[in-house]
Structures are given as structure tokens and as C-alpha cells.
Structure 1
Amino acid sequence: MSTNALPPVVDTDTWQKELAALRIREKAATRELDAIAAQRRRLPMVQMPDYVLEGEHGPVRLAEIFGDHPQLIVYHHMWNDGAEWQCGGCTGFTSQFTRLEGLASFDARFVIVTHGPIGEALAYKRKVGNTMTWYSTANSSFGSDVGAPRDGGFAVNVFLRDGDTVYRTWHTDGRGTEQLSYLFGLIDILPYGRQEVWQDSPAGWPQGPTYSRWLDSDAIAAAYGEPN
């Protein structure tokens, strides 16, 4: 017998009735997310300076990072100089994005930017098996200027390019980044959810400290990284 608390067991008709009641709220949430996305598409934008970042092959202008596309998503990866393992949350989040080719059909690209020197950043990328393209802002104020200062943390920014002119169209940080994570979407449909103490769960549900079930960077490297 399981030692965990379990949901009540009911007949199929009762279960279908409860599911239908939940579906009403799920559909309402979907419509609200559609409305939020519509408002996001109507946001104004702000023109960006002509930043120069460091890429694998040397300096690159922000406008060039778009490649052939007019839209760009940038994840700002936290960085601690000299650390063997960088932020586990950032490392885990970005490890999810292994097949981004579909973005090209929507005229967009998704890259990582970090404050770490480009050589160290690329070494870390290989170490943890990350497949996204990385750029460094070690010699630029770009990260700090868009809400991801060296000592401040992570963020997501979206940009639009018109010719050689780049505009900032959207920004989020903290839990705002969760909407981009497929892992949380899967976990949140499980009966026990994230199993973290802050969640509203029935009495007896398994719960532990926040982040306690997240993979550490070394575990991600063991799963996806290059062999030593």
C-alpha cells in the first residue's frame, strides 16, 4: 500500500462531473492568456543603442544576432565569475530548449546572453550540454540595461529589428519566465504538482522545500554534457 495521501476514489460519472467543472476554469484561463497575448502584441517599444556583444567568432552587433529574422528572444543566464557550476535554475531552464528550429517559421530566433567572458561561457555551455547559441556581455552594458545586471539575476527580453534598428518589445523575470518552460507545464498537471511547501495542496500531500526537486547543474551536465 502507498504511504502517500491519495485523491479520493469515485465512480466514473462523479469524476467526469468534477473534471467538467475544472474544465470551465481551464478554458477561462486559456481565454485570459489569449487576451494577455493580444495586449502584449499591442505594446509600444523602445529603440535600443547599437550594442556590441561577444560571440563564438568575435564581436557581433545586436542587430546581427537576429540572423535572417526580425524577432529575437534573449534569455539572460545568471553568471558568477570563477564558479564551477553556474545557476542551477538557469542551467535547468535553458537545458529544455534543444529543438528551436520551429521558431524560424515564425521569423524568430532564441539565444542566451550572459555576463561571463565568452570563452568561459562557451566552455560551460559544452559542459552542461546546452545547444542554444550563447553571447557574452562581459564588455557591454546590454544585460544591465535590459533588466539583467551582473549581480541581479536572470530575465527574458524580446526584440524586434527593422533594418539595422533594434527595438525592445517585452521583458519578464522571476516566475514570469515559467510560461516558457515546458517542464513546469507537465509537472503542474500531475496529482502531486511541484511538491513544494508554498503550493496549495490537500492535507497529507508530499511537500518539501522550494527548489528541492530541481536538478542541480552538475546533474544536468551528467545527463546532457560532454564526457570529461
Structure 2
Amino acid sequence: MTAQALPPVVDAETWQRQLDELRVREKAATRQLDAIAAERRRMPMVEMPDYTLEGEEGPVSLADVFGDKTQLIVYNHMWFPGEEWQCPGCTGYTSQFTRLDFLDAYDARFVIVTQGPIEEALAYKRRVGNKMSWYSTANSSFGTDVGAPPGGGFAVNVFLRDGDTVYRTWHTTGRGTEQLSHTFALIDLLPYGRQEEWQDSPKGWPQSPTYSRWTRSDAIAALYGPAAQNS
């Protein structure tokens, strides 16, 4: 037995009818997302200055961050100077991107840029077992110019390269970044959902303070970092 609230139990016909009704809304949402993506493809773009970032091999121009690709997605990772464990949201969010080779077929690359000094950023990357390519904008105004200044929040930016000229095509932050993640998509399928107190749930559903169920950065390191890999 459980003291936890449960969904009502119905017969299979009633369940199927309600699922069919929900499916109408789900399909409408899918078509709306398709329409939004179509509008995104029609967005104008703005030319970017010739920034120099710091990479694992030293200074690199923004155009060179693309490698041999013409499209680039950048996740601006929050950074707190002197902290052993950086933002758990950013750490957990980016830890899920372990296989990005599929982007090659789309002439695209996905990287992390942070305000942290490159040596510290790469050390943190190793500590938490992150698989993405990291760059630092500590000595550049790039982060500030794309909505992720020192001490500021996270962001996602998308760029297009034409020769050596780079253009900014899209930007989002906050919950706008969720569409890149599979974590919330899976959790939202569950009967109890995210179980956060802001969520619209039936009476009696388990609810916790926002972020309280998110995996801590040190726990992510324990799961994916060097110690876990050597165990």
C-alpha cells in the first residue's frame, strides 16, 4: 500500500478515450512547434565582430570554433569564480550531451563557452566527466554580447558562418533551453511529472521546492567523472 496520491482507476475504454482526447492537443502542439521552427528558419541575422576565445589548444577565433562546419550552437555555461562546483543546472544539462557526431550530417557543431579561465574550465570539464568541447570568453566580450555576461545566467546562441564572417541567428535562455534537453521531456511523461511546487498537478500529488530534485554537481562528478570511469 502507498500513502501517495494515485490517478483514478478506470476501464480500458475510458482510458483510451481520454488518451485520444489528449492526443489531439499533443498533435496540435507538435504542429505549433513545427510552425515555430519554420519561423525560426526565416529569422534575420546580425553580423558578429571577430572575437578571440580561448580553447584547449590556445587562442581561437569565433569563426574557427566552427571547425569545418557552417552552423554552430553555443551553450553559455554559468561560472562562479573560485567555486569548486559550478552551477548544477548547467552541469547537469550539459552532461547529457555525450554523442554529438550526428550533427556532422547537418553541417553543425555544439560547444560550451564559459566566462571561466580556460585552465579552470577544462579542469572542471574533466572533474564532472563532461564530453563537450569547451571554450573560454574570459578575455573577450563575447559572453556579454550574447546575453551571458560575467556573473550572469546561462544562454543558448546559434550562429551561421559564411567564409570568415559569423552571424548570430537565434538566442534563448531560461526555460527556452529545455527544447534541447531530453531530461525534462522524459520527466514530463511521468504521472507525477517534475514534482516541483510551481507545477499544475492534481491535489495530493508529490511536490517539492523548485530545483530540489536536480542532481548536484558533485553527484554528477561521482557518476561521470574520472573516479567513476576508473571504478
Equivalence for 2:90:
90
- Cα distance, 1:152 vs structure 2: 1.3
Q: How does 1:63-142 map to 2 (within 5 A)?
A: 63-142=63-142
Equivalence for 2:146:
146
Aligned pair 1:218/2:218, yes or no?
A: yes
Equivalence for 1:19:
19
Aligned pair 1:38/2:35, yes or no?
A: no
TM-score, normalisation: structure 1: 0.99
Deviations 1:19-45, CA, capped at 9 Å, x for gaps: 000000000000000000000000000
Alpha-carbon distance in structure 2 between the residues aligned to 1:135 and 1:222: 24
Alpha-carbon distance in structure 2 between the residues aligned to 1:57 and 1:107: 23
- Cα distance, 1:123 vs structure 2: 0.2
- Residue 152 of structure 1 aligns with an amino acid whose one-letter code is G
The 4+ residue runs of structure 1 with deviation greater than 6 A are none
- Residue 87 of structure 1 aligns with an amino acid whose one-letter code is C
Deviations 1:50-83, CA, capped at 9 Å, x for gaps: 0000000100000000011100000000001110
- Cα distance, 1:218 vs structure 2: 0.3
Equivalence for 1:178:
178
- Residue 212 of structure 1 aligns with an amino acid whose one-letter code is S
> What is the Cα-based RMSD across aligned positions, in Å?
0.7
Secondary structure of residue in 1 paired with 2:161: strand
Alpha-carbon distance in structure 2 between the residues aligned to 1:89 and 1:44: 30
Alpha-carbon distance in structure 2 between the residues aligned to 1:208 and 1:138: 36
TM-score, normalisation: structure 2: 0.98
Alpha-carbon distance in structure 2 between the residues aligned to 1:109 and 1:141: 22
Alpha-carbon distance in structure 1 between the residues aligned to 2:7 and 2:144: 47
- Residue 49 of structure 1 aligns with an amino acid whose one-letter code is P
- Residue 42 of structure 1 aligns with an amino acid whose one-letter code is R
Alpha-carbon distance in structure 1 between the residues aligned to 2:56 and 2:128: 17
- Residue 226 of structure 1 aligns with an amino acid whose one-letter code is P
Alpha-carbon distance in structure 2 between the residues aligned to 1:142 and 1:169: 15
Alpha-carbon distance in structure 2 between the residues aligned to 1:45 and 1:39: 13
- Cα distance, 1:196 vs structure 2: 0.4
Secondary structure of residue in 1 paired with 2:226: coil
- Cα distance, 1:133 vs structure 2: 0.2
Alpha-carbon distance in structure 2 between the residues aligned to 1:134 and 1:10: 51
- Residue 184 of structure 1 aligns with an amino acid whose one-letter code is F
Identity across aligned pairs (percent)? 76
Deviations 1:93-150, CA, capped at 9 Å, x for gaps: 0001001000111110000000101000000000000000000001000000000011
Secondary structure of residue in 2 paired with 1:67: coil
Alpha-carbon distance in structure 2 between the residues aligned to 1:28 and 1:171: 25
Alpha-carbon distance in structure 2 between the residues aligned to 1:118 and 1:227: 22
Secondary structure of residue in 2 paired with 1:198: coil
Secondary structure of residue in 1 paired with 2:74: strand
